A and B are shown apart, each in its own frame.
Chain A
Amino acid sequence: MKNQNKAAFFFLLPNFVGFLIFALGPVVVAAGMGFYRYQLASGAPAFIGLDNFADLVLFKKVDGEWVARDPYFWKYLGNTLFLMLNIPLAMVGSLLLAVLLNKELPGRIFFRTLFFIPHLCTGIAIYMVWKMLLTYEPNVGIINGLLWQIFGVLGIAPERAAALLPGWLIDASWAKPALIIMFIWASVGGYNMVLYLAGLQNIPLELYEAAEMDGAGWWSQLVHITVPQLAPTTFFILVTSIIGGLQGGFEAAYVMTGGGPEGSTTTMSYYIYTQAYEQLEVGYAAAISMVLFALIFAATLLNWRYGGKRLEAV
Chain B
Amino acid sequence: MTRWRQYQSTVLIYAILLLVLSGMVVPLVWTLLTSFKYNVDVTLGWIPPRWTTDNYTGVFRAFSFLRYYANSLFIATAVTVVQVATSALAAYAFARLQFRGRDVLFLGYLSTMMIPADVLMIPQFVLMKKIPEWLNAVLATDFFSGFLYLKSHYIGHPVGLDSFFALIAPGCFSAYGTFMLRQFLLGISREIEEAALIDGCSAWGVFWHVVVPLAKPALGALAIFTFLGRWRAFLWPLIMTDSDSMMVLPVGLAKLSDLYVNDYGLICAGSVLMLVPMIAVFVFFQRWFISGIQLGAVKG
Q: Measured between alpha carbons, how far is A125 from B276 in the docked complex, in Å?
A: 11
Q: Check A152 for interface membership: any CB of B closer than 8 A.
A: no
Measured CB to CB, the nearest residue on chain A to B120 is: A26
Quick check: B257 and A117 within 8 Å, CB to CB?
Answer: no
Quick check: A132 and B283 within 8 Å, CB to CB?
Answer: no
Chain B positions 150-173 with a Cβ under 8 Å from a chain A Cβ: 169-170, 172-173
Which of B30, B122, B228 makes the CB contact (< 8 A) with A289? B122
Given A19-B175, A24-B108, A117-B282, are A100 and B271 also a contact pair (CB < 8 Å)? no
Q: How many whole Å from B174's CB to the nearest CB in chain A?
A: 8
Measured CB to CB, the nearest residue on chain A to B272 is: A125
Contacts of B123 in A (CB 8 A): 25-27, 29-30, 33, 286
Contacts of B286 in A (CB 8 A): 113
Which of A12, A139, A255 makes the CB contact (< 8 A) with B89? A12
Which of A125, A189, A247, A285 makes the CB contact (< 8 A) with B271? A125
0/1 string, B91-112, CB within 8 A of A gives 1 = 0110001111010010011001
Q: Check A118 for interface membership: any CB of B closer than 8 A.
A: yes
Chain A positions 220-278 with a Cβ under 8 Å from a chain B Cβ: 236, 243, 246-247, 250-251, 254-255, 268-269, 272-273, 276-277
Q: Measured between alpha carbons, how far is A293 from B235 in the docked complex, in Å?
A: 18
Measured CB to CB, the nearest residue on chain A to B1 is: A212
Which of B27, B99, B298 makes the CB contact (< 8 A) with A310? B298
Quick check: A194 and B30 within 8 Å, CB to CB?
Answer: no
Quick check: A14 and B297 within 8 Å, CB to CB?
Answer: no
Q: Measured between alpha carbons, how far is A97 from B13 in the docked complex, in Å?
A: 10
Quick check: A113 and B24 within 8 Å, CB to CB?
Answer: no
Chain A positions 77-134 with a Cβ under 8 Å from a chain B Cβ: 97, 100-101, 103, 105, 111, 113-118, 120-126, 128-133
Q: How many whole Å from A280's CB to the nearest CB in chain B?
A: 9
Quick check: A131 and B232 within 8 Å, CB to CB?
Answer: no
Quick check: B282 and A116 within 8 Å, CB to CB?
Answer: yes
Q: Check B192 for interface membership: any CB of A closer than 8 A.
A: no
Quick check: B300 and A3 within 8 Å, CB to CB?
Answer: no
Contacts of A297 in B (CB 8 A): 114
Measured CB to CB, the nearest residue on chain B to A308 is: B299
Quick check: A120 and B274 within 8 Å, CB to CB?
Answer: no
0/1 string, A21-39, CB within 8 A of B gives 1 = 1111111011001000000
Quick check: A236 and B297 within 8 Å, CB to CB?
Answer: yes
0/1 string, B256-274, CB within 8 A of A gives 1 = 0100000010011011001
Quick check: A22 and B270 within 8 Å, CB to CB?
Answer: no
Q: Check B135 for interface membership: any CB of A closer than 8 A.
A: no
Chain B positions 176-190 with a Cβ under 8 Å from a chain A Cβ: 178
Measured CB to CB, the nearest residue on chain B to A239 is: B299
B-side interface size class: 35 or more
Q: Check A311 for interface membership: any CB of B closer than 8 A.
A: yes
Q: Check A1 for interface membership: any CB of B closer than 8 A.
A: yes
Quick check: B108 and A282 within 8 Å, CB to CB?
Answer: no
Q: Measured between alpha carbons, how far is A33 from B118 in the docked complex, in Å?
A: 13
Measured CB to CB, the nearest residue on chain B to A247 is: B116
Q: Measured between alpha carbons, how far is A220 from B278 in the docked complex, in Å?
A: 40
Quick check: A130 and B120 within 8 Å, CB to CB?
Answer: no
Residue from A19, A30, A123 whose CB has the most chain B CB atoms within 10 Å: A123
Measured CB to CB, the nearest residue on chain B to A4 is: B97
Measured CB to CB, the nearest residue on chain B to A268 is: B118
Q: Check A8 for interface membership: any CB of B closer than 8 A.
A: yes
Quick check: B14 and A296 within 8 Å, CB to CB?
Answer: no
Quick check: B17 and A100 within 8 Å, CB to CB?
Answer: yes
Q: How many whole Å from B276's CB to the nearest CB in chain A?
A: 10
Measured CB to CB, the nearest residue on chain B to A97 is: B20
Chain A positions 1-56 with a Cβ under 8 Å from a chain B Cβ: 1-5, 7-9, 11-12, 14-19, 21-27, 29-30, 33, 40
Chain B positions 56-88 with a Cβ under 8 Å from a chain A Cβ: 85-87
Q: Check A211 for interface membership: any CB of B closer than 8 A.
A: no
Q: Measured between alpha carbons, how far is A12 from B122 in the docked complex, in Å?
A: 26
Which of A114, A191, A251, A255 makes the CB contact (< 8 A) with B25? A114
Quick check: B119 and A290 within 8 Å, CB to CB?
Answer: yes
Given A29-B123, A115-B20, are A100 and B13 also a contact pair (CB < 8 Å)? yes
Q: What would be 14 A-B contacts, judged by CB atoms less than 8 Å apart?
A: A7-B99, A14-B86, A18-B170, A19-B108, A21-B173, A30-B119, A125-B270, A132-B267, A140-B42, A236-B299, A251-B235, A289-B122, A293-B116, A307-B299
List B residues at the A interface (Cβ < 8 Å). Answer: 9-10, 13-14, 16-17, 20-21, 23-28, 30-31, 34, 42-43, 85-87, 89-90, 92-93, 97-100, 102, 105, 108-109, 112, 114-127, 129, 169-170, 172-173, 175, 178, 202-204, 207, 228, 232, 234-235, 239, 250, 253-254, 257, 264, 267-268, 270-271, 274-275, 278-279, 282-283, 286, 290, 293-294, 297-300
- Minimum-distance CB pairs A-B, first 6: A18-B173, A8-B99, A15-B90, A26-B123, A11-B93, A123-B232
Other than the known A29-B126, A123-B274, what 9 A-B pairs have Cβ atoms closer than 8 Å? A18-B86, A24-B108, A27-B120, A120-B278, A124-B250, A129-B30, A185-B24, A292-B116, A314-B298
